């Protein structure tokens, strides 16, 4: 997995590219990213399936903030990104990945 951050000079926005590896996707046919930036929607931000079996998506997020997020595989399996800046207790007996912008 990887997270790439590109800060824009013209406005307080960071273009964040998220990628879920083929191994983490574990044969999933669909991966969504869910987090504070989309009110934890499980359907809004569906990632693009790549030919190599991985998934990717780029989002423009407000810089100067941190966001909790997780990936949802096939609508039923939650996983975290190993490349997250850190992790935070979700209050639901699990941890969320956190990205700092």
The CATH number linked to 41 is 2.60.40.10
What is the span of the domain harbouring residue 31?
Answer: 2-100
In this prediction, residue 1 carries a pLDDT of 61
pLDDT in tens, 60-96: 999 999 999 999 999 999 999 999 999 999 887 889 9
Distance CA 1, CA 80 (A): 10
For residue 43, give every residue at least 6 positions away whose Cβ sits within 8 Å of its Cβ, in sequence order, or none: 32
Neighbouring-strand partners of residue 33? 45, 71
Of the listed ranges 5-19, 20-34, 86-100, the least confidently predicted one is 86-100
pLDDT in tens, 28-54: 999 999 999 999 999 999 999 999 999
In this prediction, residue 94 carries a pLDDT of 85
The number of domains in the chain is: 1
């Amino acid at each position: 997995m990887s997270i790439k951050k590109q800060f824009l000079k013209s406005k307080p926005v960071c273009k964040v590219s998220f990628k879920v590896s083929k191994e983490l996707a574990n044969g999933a046919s669909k991966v969504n990213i869910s987090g504070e930036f989309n009110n934890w929607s499980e359907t809004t931000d569906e990632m693009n399936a790549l030919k190599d079996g991985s998934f990717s998506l780029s989002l423009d997020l407000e810089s100067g903030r941190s966001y909790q997020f997780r990936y949802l595989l096939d609508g039923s399996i939650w996983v975290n990104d190993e490349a997250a800046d850190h992790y935070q207790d979700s209050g639901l007996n699990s941890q969320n990945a956190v990205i700092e912008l």
